[in-house]
Amino acid sequence: MIEVNIYNAAFLLFSMITLLSAIGVAVINSLMRSLFLLIISFIGVASLFVLLSADFIAIAQLLIYAGSISILLLFAVMLTPEVSINNQNSKYFLFAALTGILFTYIMFLFISIFDINQLTGLSLDKLNFSNTIDKIGTLLLGKYIIAFELASILLLFALIGAISIVRSNESDFNIVATKIKGKK
């Protein structure tokens, strides 16, 4: 029997929010609404990390996925031509639905066969997770500073490359040039 306490109630609430918004992303035809549901799903996952006392991962989830990736996808949707903004039903919908059902069945089968020891609720509070961010920060800015800086330089070059790919399309410049010439 499931113990009724605040942790289990919060887990059920956040997991339902996450699952329903993730299903909405796949089902809704509007890309903008799907994007907002994806942001809600990312926030729900971050909330689940908070319940697991994984505070650094929760903050990273909020900053990277709910923040940066969502803004990137928002710009991609806004820069998409009007013709392809609708999220049309695909011919692979049935295959994707069956694959999802099969994956869910395999996961439930895996959970029921193997006895997974887990810490939940009040037993999780007995562990000391209060200084995870301090330890991770000390390691990132101490022992792993070179890897941290190389990763930031790599991300900077990826951003510059993406901007140059988008800006290298000369047809955009021709459209603006013809509009300017047409006004004269």
pLDDT of residue 82: 61
Cα angle 6, 8, 10; round to 5: 65
Residues 7/122, Cβ–Cβ less than 8 Å: yes
* Predicted pLDDT at 106: 93
Cβ–Cβ < 8 Å for 42, 71: no
pLDDT of residue 84: 55
At 45 the pLDDT is: 93
Model pLDDT, residue 155: 82
Q: Where are the alpha helices (DSSP H) in 6-82?
A: 6-27, 31-51, 55-60, 70-79
CA separation for the pair 4, 183 (Å, rounded): 70
State how far Cα 175 lies from the chain centre: 35
Closest CA to 47 of 56, 32, 57, 58: 58
Phi, psi of 81 (to 5 degrees): -60, 150
**All residues at 6 or more sequence positions from 27 whose CB lies less than 8 Å from its CB, including other chains:** none
The whole-number mean pLDDT for each consecutive block of 10 residues of the chain, a chain of 184 residues, reads 80 93 86 87 92 84 84 75 59 82 90 69 61 78 87 84 68 55 58
Q: Residues 89, 29: contact at Cβ < 8 Å?
A: yes
